[in-house]
Amino acid sequence: MCGIVACSSAGADVSQLVSSALQKLEYRGYDSYGFGYLLAGAAGSSLASLRRLDPLTDMQDLLPATPVAIGHTRWATHGAVVLENCHPHQSPDGTFTLVHNGIVENYQLLAQQAGIDASELLHSDTAVLTHRFSQLLQQTGDRRTALQTLLGLIEGRNTIVVLFEDGEILGFRDGSPLVIGRSPGHVYMASDVLAFGDWSDQSFAMENHQIISIQGETVRLYDDRGALLVPDWQTVDARLTSESPDPGGYHMLQEIMVQWETIPRQAQTDPDALARFISHLHSETTVIVTGAGGAYYAARQICWMLRELAGIRAIEIPAYEIGVARQLVRPGDVLLAISQSGETADTLDAIEAARSWGMTVACLVNMPLCSMSRLADHVFYNRCGPEICVLSTKSATAQIAFGYLLAQSYRGTAITGSMDLLSRELTRYLSDPTHDRIRRLAASLVKAEHLYILGAHENYGAALISALNIKEASYLHAEAFAAGELKHGVIALIEEETPVLVFVPGGDTWMLAVAAEVRARGARVIGLADDDNELFDDWLPLPATGGQRELGAIANIIPCQLLAFELAVQRGLNPDKPRNLAKSVTVR
What is the contact surface with ligand GLU in residues (CB under 6 A)? Answer: 1-2, 74-79, 85, 100-103, 124-126, 587
Tell me the closest approach of the beta carbon of residue 175 to ligand GLU, in angstroms: 11
- The strand pairing partners of 501, in sequence order, are 453, 526
Tell me the closest approach of the beta carbon of residue 78 to ligand GLU, in angstroms: 5
Tell me the closest approach of the beta carbon of residue 477 to ligand GLU, in angstroms: 27
Q: Look at strands 477-482 and 378-381 and give their pairing.
A: unpaired
Tell me the closest approach of the beta carbon of residue 76 to ligand GLU, in angstroms: 5
Complex with ligand GLU: residue 108 or 183, whichever CB lies closer: 108
Question: In whole angstroms, what is the distance from residue 201 CA to residue 182 CA?
Answer: 6
Q: Could you give the C-alpha distances from 25 to 19, 149, 176, in angstroms and in order?
A: 10, 29, 14
**What is the distance, to the nearest Å, from the Cα of residue 267 to the centroid of all Cα atoms in its chain?**
23
Tell me the closest approach of the beta carbon of residue 85 to ligand GLU, in angstroms: 6
Q: Which residue is nearest to ligand GLU (CB)?
A: 2
Question: In whole angstroms, what is the distance from residue 211 CA to residue 191 CA?
Answer: 15
Complex with ligand GLU: residue 85 or 360, whichever CB lies closer: 85
Strand ranges (E), 79-157: 89-90, 96-102
Nearest to 63 by CA among 15, 113, 9: 15
Would residue 394 show up in a list of annotated catalytic residues for this protein? Answer: no
Nearest to 570 by CA among 481, 473, 489: 473
Q: Could you give the C-alpha distances from 576 to 28, 29, 245, 351, in angstroms and in order?
A: 11, 11, 12, 29
Helix ranges (DSSP H) in 325-457: 345-356, 371-375, 394-411, 416-429, 432-445
**What is the distance, to the nearest Å, from the Cα of residue 231 to the centroid of all Cα atoms in its chain?**
26
* 3-state secondary structure at position 437: helix
Cβ atoms of 193 and 181 closer than 8 Å: yes
Complex with ligand GLU: residue 125 or 566, whichever CB lies closer: 125
Cβ atoms of 536 and 524 closer than 8 Å: no
Complex with ligand GLU: residue 79 or 527, whichever CB lies closer: 79
Tell me the closest approach of the beta carbon of residue 1 to ligand GLU, in angstroms: 3
Element (H or E) spanning 573, and its range? none
Complex with ligand GLU: residue 55 or 541, whichever CB lies closer: 55
Complex with ligand GLU: residue 82 or 513, whichever CB lies closer: 82
Complex with ligand GLU: residue 74 or 519, whichever CB lies closer: 74
- Quote the Cα angle for 162-166-167, to 5°: 55
Burial 535-572 (b: 16+ CB within 10 A, else e): bbbbbbbbbbbeeebbbbbbbbbbbbbbbbbbbbbebe
Nearest to 292 by CA among 345, 357, 364, 352: 345
Nearest to 530 by CA among 421, 399, 425: 425
Tell me the closest approach of the beta carbon of residue 57 to ligand GLU, in angstroms: 19
Tell me the closest approach of the beta carbon of residue 292 to ligand GLU, in angstroms: 16
Complex with ligand GLU: residue 157 or 251, whichever CB lies closer: 157
- Looking at the annotation, which residues are catalytic? 583
